[in-house]
Amino acid sequence: MANLSTTYMGLNLRNPLIVASSGLTENIDDIVEFEARGAGAVVIKSIFEEEIIAKAHDNLNKMQASGFIYPETMEYFDYDSMEDPISNYLDFLRKVKRETSIPIFASINCVTSEGWIDFAKRIEDTGVDGLELNVFSLPSDPDRSAEENERIYFEIAERVTSVVKLPVAMKVGYFNGALANFLVRLSSTPIKALVLFNRFYNPDFDVNTLEFTPASVFSTPSEISTSLRWVAIMSGRVSCDIAASTGVHDGNAMVKQILAGANAVQACSTFYRNGKEQASFIIRQFEEWMNSNGYKTIDEFRGKMSQKKTYNPAAFERVQFMKYFHDL
Ligand SMILES: Cc1cc2nc3c(=O)[nH]c(=O)nc-3n(C[C@H](O)[C@H](O)[C@H](O)COP(=O)(O)O)c2cc1C
């Protein structure tokens, strides 16, 4: 019988399926159900950096002055009516740890390395198994260079890992000019994993009312392709683990990402669309594929289709584009 276990960030997961951070991981009953349906691990809904530093107005002013945080962001949070988000978050992590036995990751959505770093230590003290940092930095400022944009990731990685022993993952986007080079350098910091990729909130607008609307919040299965390409390219090149994220909707998608070289996958939209029972379906389909292909362990096939190991490394590059579109 196939052994589905995998290691991720030095932790043993019973299978590679991680429930990604979302509204489905901020409620204890949902998390307990995901565990019952077989999930390998869960990333808790993120706490925002702005919530952590809400009371420290000096820090807030500094951050706004730095240009990384818009004043409008602060208007979004109603601090006066809000319960203390920090103790709520820490209490919730303790509760989740008490009521589950799979690895649990806390998550911070951040954009600077100022004012909130010590909070990572308090997260560590709750007993969670790891910390994921969702760095939401869109390179949208034409006055800020690529180096300046990148620096923030390195500052956050270095500063957080200097205050905690917890394994730390960084969830990043793909908006970067020299992506492979950036990811290799980031993986050389003390972080233990890269999550490829964050799916940004995308704006859209109505052509009649000219009102802004969110583009689809949920991914489709075809959106796996960007992550799949980059997991395959980076596998064996980065010095940390990789979790594949975006567009994993079924067991075949999990197989693909492990073949590309991921240690684990994260999924979210598929649970919104198909219910939490989709977790058991993904794992079952994955196991059936291993059995029908004669694999006893994941290590026997992990990375087999990565760019470094595949028989056709050009499949991930421009030459494929030329061949394909030339013949159409
Ligand atoms: C409703 C919703 C809420 C989310 N909240 C968070 C969050 O708090 N922190 C985070 O890192 N990602 C968040 N995400 C992003 C997911 O964790 C995931 O990276 C993204 O949806 C791509 O994966 P998918 O294609 O499996 O949905 C959220 C996604 C959705 C749909």
Give the residue whose CA is nearest to atom 4 of ligand 1: 22
Atom 23 (ligand 1) nearest CA: 246
Of 41-50, 79-88, 157-166, 255-264, least confident by mean pLDDT is 79-88
Contact 208, 188 (CB under 8 A): no
Q: Is 248 in the pocket of ligand 1 (CB under 6 A)?
A: yes
**pLDDT band with cut points at 50, 70 and 90 for residue 182:** very high
Q: How many CB atoms lie within 10 A of CB 205?
A: 11
Q: Is 171 in the pocket of ligand 1 (CB under 6 A)?
A: yes
What percent of the chain shows pLDDT beyond 70? 88
Reply yes or no on whether the pLDDT at 65 is more than 60.
Answer: no
Whole-number Å distance, alpha carbon 199 to ligand 1 midpoint, is: 7
Whether ligand 1 lies within 6 angstroms of the CB of 215 is answered as no
Mean pLDDT of the chain: 90
CA distance 65 to 142: 17
DSSP string, 103-144: -EEEEEEES-SSS-HHHHHHHHTTT-SEEEEEE------TTS
pLDDT tens-digit series, residues 269-301: 999 999 999 999 999 999 999 999 999 999 999
Cβ atoms of residues 93 and 126 within 8 Å: yes
Q: How far is Cα 236 from Cα 139, in angstroms, rounded to an integer? A: 27
Contacts (Cβ under 8 Å, ≥6 apart) of 240? 187, 191, 192, 193, 194
Tell me which residue has its CA closest to atom 6 in ligand 1.
Answer: 22
Which residue, chain included where needed, has tokens 């969110």? 214
Contacts 24+ apart (CB under 8 A), 77-84: 77/48, 77/50, 77/51, 79/54, 79/55, 82/51, 82/54
Q: Give yes or no for residue 268 CB within 6 A of ligand 1.
A: yes
pLDDT tens string 185-242: 999 999 999 999 999 888 889 999 999 987 889 999 999 999 999 999 999 999 999 9
Determine the atom of ligand 1 nearest the C-alpha atom of 266. Answer: 26
How many A from CA of 267 to the centre of ligand 1?
A: 8
What single-letter DSSP state applies at residue 18?
E
> How many Cα atoms within 13 Å fall on the side-chain side of residue 223?
20
Q: For residue 243, what are its two tokens?
A: 């979790």
> 20 C-alpha to center of ligand 1: Å?
6
Rounded Cα–Cα distance for residues 325 and 140 (Å): 31
- In this structure, the residue with its CA closest to atom 10 of ligand 1 is 21
SS3 205: strand
Tens digit of each residue's pLDDT (9 = 90 or more) over 114-143: 889 999 999 999 999 999 999 977 888 899
pLDDT at res. 173: 94
CB of 246 shorter than 6 A to ligand 1 = yes
- Does the Cβ of 278 fall within 6 Å of ligand 1? no
Q: Quick check: helix, strand or coil at residue 21?
A: coil
Q: Does domain 6-326 have CATH number 3.20.20.70?
A: yes
Distance between alpha carbon 85 and the CA centroid of its chain, in Å? 22
Q: Is 46 in the pocket of ligand 1 (CB under 6 A)?
A: yes
Q: How far, in Å, CA of 315 to CA of 306, rounded? A: 10
Q: What is the per-residue pLDDT across 9-62, written as a single tens digit (0 to 9) for each?
A: 999 999 999 999 999 999 999 999 999 999 999 999 999 988 888 755 545 555
Residue-wise over 146-162: b if at least 16 C-beta within 10 A, else e?
Answer: eeebbebbeebbeebbe
| CA distances, 260 to each of 11, 54, 227, 236, 245 (Å) | 20, 41, 10, 10, 13
Q: Using CA positions, which residue lies closest to atom 22 of ligand 1?
A: 246
Question: What sections of the chain are H helices per DSSP?
Answer: 28-36, 49-52, 57-66, 71-76, 85-99, 117-124, 146-163, 179-187, 224-234, 251-260, 269-274, 278-292, 318-326
| Ligand 1 neighbour 109 (Cβ under 6 A) | yes
User: What is residue 1's predicted lDDT score, i.e. its pLDDT?
Assistant: 85
Using CA atoms, how far apart are residues 320 and 298, in angstroms rounded to an integer?
Answer: 28
The residue type found at 55 is: K
Torsion, Cα of 243, 181, 138, 262 (10° steps): -10
Q: Is the CB of 107 under 6 A from ligand 1?
A: yes
Distance 45 CA to ligand 1 centre (A): 9
Nearest atom in ligand 1 to the alpha carbon of residue 198 is: 19
* Ligand 1 centroid, distance to 17 Cα (angstroms): 15
The b/e string for 171-195 (b: 16+ C-beta within 10 A; e otherwise) is: bbbbebeebeebbbebbebebbbbb
Supply the pLDDT for residue 279.
98
